[in-house]
Amino acid sequence: MSQLANLKVLVADDHFLIRQFVRNTLQESKITNVQTAADGNEAIDLVQKAYEAHQSYDIVFLDWNMPTISGLEVLSYFRAKPEYADTAFVMLTAESEQQNIMKAIKAGATSYIIKPVSPSDLGKKLIEINEWIKRKRQTTQVMNG
């Protein structure tokens, strides 16, 4: 799990308790650099500011149903920008219908986690997501090298 310790994570969810749960679970996985956003606008703002400061997020967890801008819209917004290609955008949502899952995957979601999620399942997903990030960054380095 220590390989996860360096990850920088944003949790965007309009429910305070969900944000706390995910943050606590991440901290149990030794991920201490966790910020939270209460809606889609705040998530977009934080992700862009982090990128501009050369401190991009590695993983952004997005709830589907948030006020102002949905998680799916946030996902689509960043997937349209090549500079966020190796950022993992993970839908963390109660939307469990197959068509919604497919919609999110088509829009570029790295992973799709259905709430409620147990800490152990979230931990397993984190390892998969981290592997995805490593593969993406190796590819990016090869292309830019």
pTM score of the predicted model: 0.94
CATH architecture for residues 2-129? 3-Layer(aba) Sandwich (3.40)
Type of residue at 144:
N
Q: Which residue has the tokens 């994570």?
A: 9
Give dist(CA 80, CA 18) in Å, integer: 27
Give tens-digit pLDDT for 64-90. Answer: 999 889 999 999 999 999 999 999 999
Cβ-contact 89, 77 below 8 angstroms: no
Give tens-digit pLDDT for 76-134. Answer: 999 999 999 999 999 999 989 999 999 999 999 999 999 999 999 999 999 999 999 99
Residue-by-residue DSSP string for 71-138 = HHHHHHHHHTSGGGTTSEEEEEES---HHHHHHHHHTT-SEEEESS--HHHHHHHHHHHHHHHHHHHH
The domain ranges of the chain are 2-129
Give tens-digit pLDDT for 13-34. Answer: 999 999 999 999 999 889 999 9
H or E segment at 34? Answer: strand 33-37
